[in-house]
Amino acid sequence: MQGKDDPGTLSDRMFNKVVFEGSPYAYPQDGTEQSIKEITREDITRYYDEHCLPSNLILAFVGAISPEEALKIVESKFGSWQKKSSSGVNNPEGANNKTKEYSNQFIYLVDKPGAVQSNLRIGHIGIARNNPDFIAVTVMNTILGGYFGSRININLREKHGFTYGARSSFAPRIHPGDFSVDTDVRNAVTDSSITLVLEELNRIISGEVTDEELQTVKNYLTGLFQLQLETANSVATRVINLKLYDLPKYYYNNYISSINDLTKEDILNAAKKYIHPDSLYIVVSGNSKQIKDKLSLIKEVKVYDADDKLIQ
């Protein structure tokens, strides 16, 4: 219920619904008012029995401990856990082969009466975490909208003053997540902000980045990687990620060199392969009375209420 008052939550929920239509990723992770009301104790115990299994468990030990000591701990805590067959999960990739209720020919506007800002989500289905191009895509996206000095943030924030911050990301998931651009802008510049984002997406696929852009981002990402290995918990997370996302064993050993070996041509190829301006879904949450007419000049607009019901 609180989410209905948050523009970011409204647009995020609608964005996932239209992009991942027909997939488990289309549903809110924390459920809906109706689904939460209907959950029973039997639903919870059944989920536990079907999914909380030894075969689904990943354990990581990081610290001054030997494999033998670790195994003793595992045996003492989990030795009595009975093996069961997993029922599996629905494959979200089915979203790519759906009968569409939602089309990227429209702008989806979630009405928030009285709002003085609009939240924008612009994007499409991205790539899986274990995609061999993930590192190249990460570098490309960082240049595009992945850090404070990115093209999208510089354009919308520094050059035009439309927002306090704008960003883009590829969601790292077992199955292909989303690519999206996310920002909050003033009502009066909602349409102009969308136009600027589209310009940046077309620019990243139409020409090579500069030497300075590429080197700056390489330095940023490799330096960040070192900082993220300072705690045992962060190291354990990376160890688990190797198994969770089916990454090569020496993925992180080669991470820095993989970044530094990338060329401007590699970045352009990644952009052309994984950024699709013609396939974008545009979702906005905001004051429909103030922004709908201008948005209609970009694409036809469908207006929904906070419960995702079509009202216009």
* Domains assigned to the chain: 103-304 (3.30.830.10)
Per-residue model confidence (pLDDT) at position 89 = 60
> Which of the two residues, 289 and 92, has the higher pLDDT score?
289
What is the spatial distance between Cα 194 and Cα 186, in angstroms, rounded to a whole number?
12
The predicted model gives 148-163 an average pLDDT of 98
Per-residue model confidence (pLDDT) at position 91 = 58
User: Would you say residue 61 has pLDDT above 80?
Assistant: yes
The predicted model gives 287-300 an average pLDDT of 97
User: Would you say residue 40 has pLDDT above 70?
Assistant: yes
Per-residue model confidence (pLDDT) at position 100 = 74
In which band, very low, low, confident or very high, does the pLDDT at 312 lie, cut at 50, 70 and 90? confident
What is the spatial distance between Cα 121 and Cα 133, in angstroms, rounded to a whole number?
24
Are 92 and 27 spatial neighbours (Cβ–Cβ below 8 Å)?
Answer: no
In this structure, what token pair is assigned to residue 17? 């619904």
The predicted model gives 224-249 an average pLDDT of 93
In which band, very low, low, confident or very high, does the pLDDT at 82 lie, cut at 50, 70 and 90? confident
Contacts from 224-232 at CB under 8 Å and sequence distance 24+?
225/255, 225/256, 232/62, 232/63
Per-residue model confidence (pLDDT) at position 88 = 62
From residue 165, give the alpha-carbon distance in Å to each of 134, 141, 197, 216.
24, 15, 13, 19
Per-residue model confidence (pLDDT) at position 84 = 80
| Cβ count within 10 A of residue 100 | 10
Percent share of the chain, pLDDT over 90 = 85
Residue 66, judged by CB atoms within 10 A of its CB (0-12, 13-18, 19+), counts as exposed
What is the spatial distance between Cα 25 and Cα 174, in angstroms, rounded to a whole number?
11
pTM for the whole thing? 0.92
In which band, very low, low, confident or very high, does the pLDDT at 85 lie, cut at 50, 70 and 90? confident
pLDDT tens profile 1-12: 888 999 999 999
Closest C-alpha among 116, 120, 129 to residue 238: 129
